[in-house]
Amino acid sequence: MNKQSIQKSAASGLVFGIIVIFFALIGFTVVFSGLIQKALGQSLGVGQIPSISSFLIFLGLLGIWNGWRASRQDKHETLSVKKVLGRSAIAGLVAGVLVMVYALIVGALNNSGINLRTYLSQLSSESVRFFLFNQTIVVGGLIHVFYSTLMAVIGGFLAVASERSRERVKSTRESIQKWSQDRWLGKLQGNPYVSYVLMGVVLLLLVLLPRTWGAYWNYVMGTVGIYVLLGLGLNIIVGLSGQLVLGYVAFFAIGAYTFALTTSPEPHNLVWNFWIALGVAVLAAALSGILIGLPIMRLRGDYLAIVTLGFGEIIRILLRSDILKDFTMGPRGVRNIAGPTLFGRSFTTDVDFMYLIILAVLLSIFLARRWQESSIGRAWLAISQDETVAQATGVDTQKYKLLALSLGAAFAGLGGALFASRNQFTGPEDHALMVSINVLVLVIVGGMGSIPGVVLGAFALKGLPEILRELESYRLLVFGALLVVMMIIRPEGLWPARRPKLEVPVEQDHEPVPLPATAGGEK
């Protein structure tokens, strides 16, 4: 073993040690062990500390990962048992010792009767003892060292084993692929009817699912659908025409409030028909896009971003302000907003609403695709690539940028109106800055300029936090971390746009520094 290899192993151990300590500090060890215990089918009462065995499983998984990572330092070398043994043992030992030091400190403080929760809210006396496996601090610390080393070594062996079997796996996979290509996949790919069948399946799912999966999933998926609408709109502005807008929520709010104020008995008693109000809301949002866009078309990049962010905040503050209270109901929000009616029958159950949203989404996808592939779309592409050149080649940049802004705003208006109608309530808190940020994130996570990307992004962004609900107060923490990891491993988004690359990205001029071979971020 050379010195560099030892250093790398120790570094891996260090990182894992810090991760374990961080998990312990935020109480994640207890929560995750509890989830493991529940997953194993054992019940766990409220406020009960999970069993030590589930904690050992949790630590074991981390330890194995540690050993695995430490062993595979170079893609091109072949691993030998001897190499791996040294590396993983070092990594495990370093992590274990680090954790032991932490355990000793915390355990000693806890034993001396200091209430650690005054400063670190998750470190209750029980959780500290749990971290020490209910042993004395010395025994608990030593168990950590021993267990961490053992698991890391196992992880190292697994790495060797996986490498040896990799060849076999690869050849098996290739043969399966070849077989399926010959037998059916190849034929299917060439068959034009396949896409019809696929569409049929999607259609069937869209029609049947809302009826079967219950009110909760209809609600969650309805929210996802509304965010697909928002994403499609912002995709036109950011993804296609290349303008960074951080105040998209302004249009959402204008749509929602226009709809709310025209259909609610309070405060104006207008009570318009659902469909008329919906149209008015969309128009109002589109118009506001033009009005807001006119004076600021000259701004570019981050200046445009902050100005639009300002617009979003201005709208939100005005909606809840005292001076507009008689007009918008102030912070209390507008209630009793109309639901959809058709031929005198009202559609207000969760299933009906889900269908309405699905229809709106399909319609919007259809429209967005038509625009994107028309001459307007090509003008937007030209503007987003290089505005000056686009102008020089005869594209009326002002006109097309304004068009993008107002069309994008119209989608937000539609989303806002549906949102208000479904909840039968809308208030200023529904239109906070985080909505803009969420929508921007979903467009980029999905893949800028790509419509399937927007759909996927909306699922990831609004669906994922709902799925992560099991993690309770840890869900946003996990969500934030996933966002960073996602950007690092897949910066082009989940489903990148398939536009032909017409030129070398401008950014490359600015980035002469090649990525360092081992970027610190992969830890």
Partner 1 sequence: MEALRKKFSLTLPQNSIRIIRIIAALLLLALIIVRAMDVAAKSQFGADTWLRLSVSGLIIGGMYALIAIGYTLVYGILFMINFAHGEVMMIGTFGGYFVFEAFNAIQVSGADGSQLSFLNAYPVIAILLAFLAGMTIAALSGLFLEKIAYRPLRGAPRLVPLISAIGASIFLQNAGQLLFGPQRRQYINPVVLDRGIGWNLEVAGSTVVLTYTGIFSLILSAILMVGLYLLVQRTKLGRAMRAVAQDKKTAALMGINVDQIISRTFVISGALAGAAGVMWGIHNGLFNYFVGFLPGIKAFTAAVLGGIGNIPGAMLGGMFLGIVESVGPAVLGIDFQLKDVLAFTILILVLIFRPSGILGEALTEEKV
Partner 2 sequence: MKKSVLFFVFVVFAMVLASCNGAAPAGGEPEVCASDEFGCAKIPAGQTVKIGMGAPLTGDYASFGVDISQGAAVAVKDAGTVEGFAFELVAQDTQGAPEGGAAVANKLATDPTVVAIAGHIFSGSTEAAIPVYDKAGIPMMSPSATNPPLTTLGSKVFNRVAFTDAVQGKFAADYLYSKLGFRKIAVLHDGGAYGQGLADVVRDEFTKLGGEVVGYEAVTPGETDYTATLSALAASSPEAVYFGGYVAEGVVLTNNMKQSGLENAVFFGCDGTFGTEFVEKTGANGEGAYAASLIPPESAEKAKFDADYLAAYGVGAGTLSPYTWSGYDSAAVLMAKVKEVAVLGSDGTLYVPRGALVAAVRGTQGFSSITGDITCDAVGECNTAGPTFYIVKGGDWAQAEQ
Give the residues lining the site for partner 2 (CB under 8 A).
Answer: 43, 45-47, 115, 117-118, 121, 124, 195-196, 199, 203, 206-208, 211, 214-216, 218-220, 223, 320-322, 325, 330-333, 335, 347, 350-352, 355, 358-359, 362-363, 366, 369, 419, 423-427, 429-430, 432, 466, 469, 472-473, 475-476
* Distance of closest approach, residue 121 Cβ to partner 1, in angstroms: 3
| Binding partner of 521, given partner 2, partner 1, none, CB within 5-8 angstroms per partner class | partner 1
Smallest separation, CB 486 to partner 1 (Å): 8
Nearer to partner 1, 28 or 411 (CB): 28
519 contact, one of partner 1, partner 2, none, CB 5-8 Å limit per kind: partner 1
Question: Closer to partner 1 at the Cβ: 40 or 484?
Answer: 484
**CA 455, CA 453: separation in Å to the nearest integer?**
5
Instruction: Decide: residue 159, CB within 10 A, 0-12 exposed, 13-18 middle, 19+ buried.
Output: buried
* Joined tokens for residue 353: 């609403």
Tokens of 173: 């996979």
Number of CB atoms found within 10 A of residue 147's CB: 18
Q: How far is the CB of 388 from partner 1 (least distance, A)?
A: 6
Residue closer to partner 1 (CB basis): 120 or 276 = 120
179 makes contact, choosing from partner 2, partner 1, none, with CB < 5 to 8 Å by partner type, with none
CA–CA separation, 282 and 422 (whole Å): 16
Binding-site partner at residue 466 among partner 2, partner 1, none, CB < 5 to 8 Å by type: partner 2
Measured CA to CA, the distance from residue 478 to residue 486 in angstroms comes to 12
C-alpha–C-alpha distance, residues 383 and 379, integer Å = 6
Other C-beta atoms within 10 Å of 116: how many? 17
Residue with tokens 């068959």: 191
Nearer to partner 1, 20 or 305 (CB): 305
User: Minimum distance from CB of 48 to partner 2 (Å)?
Assistant: 11
CA distances 233 to 148, 368, 497, Å, are: 50, 8, 16
Q: Which is nearer to partner 2, 24 or 99 (CB)?
A: 24
Nearest to partner 1 of 307, 351 (CB atom): 307
Q: How far is the CB of 47 from partner 2 (least distance, A)?
A: 7
From the list partner 2, partner 1, none, pick the one residue 27 interacts with, judged by a Cβ distance below 5 to 8 Å according to partner type: partner 1
Q: Which does 344 bind (CB under 5 to 8 A by kind): partner 1, partner 2, none?
A: none
Looking at the Cβ atoms of 169 and 389, the one nearer to partner 1 is 389
Tokens 């109480």 identify what position? 27
Distances (CA, A) of 31 to 35, 43, 141, 465: 6, 14, 21, 17
Q: Cβ distance 88 to 9 under 8 Å?
A: yes
Task: Give the integer Cα–Cα distance in Å for 170 and 179.
Answer: 14
Instruction: Provide the minimum distance between the beta carbon of 223 and partner 2 in the complex, in angstroms, as a whole number.
Output: 7
H/E stretch holding 45: none
User: Closest approach of Cβ 480 to partner 2, in Å?
Assistant: 11
| Calpha distance 255→285 (Å, rounded) | 6
Out of partner 1, partner 2, none, what residue 429 binds, judged by CB under 5 to 8 A for its kind, is: partner 2
- Report d(CA 401, CA 381) in Å as an integer: 11
173 binds, among partner 2, partner 1, none (CB under 5 to 8 A by kind): none
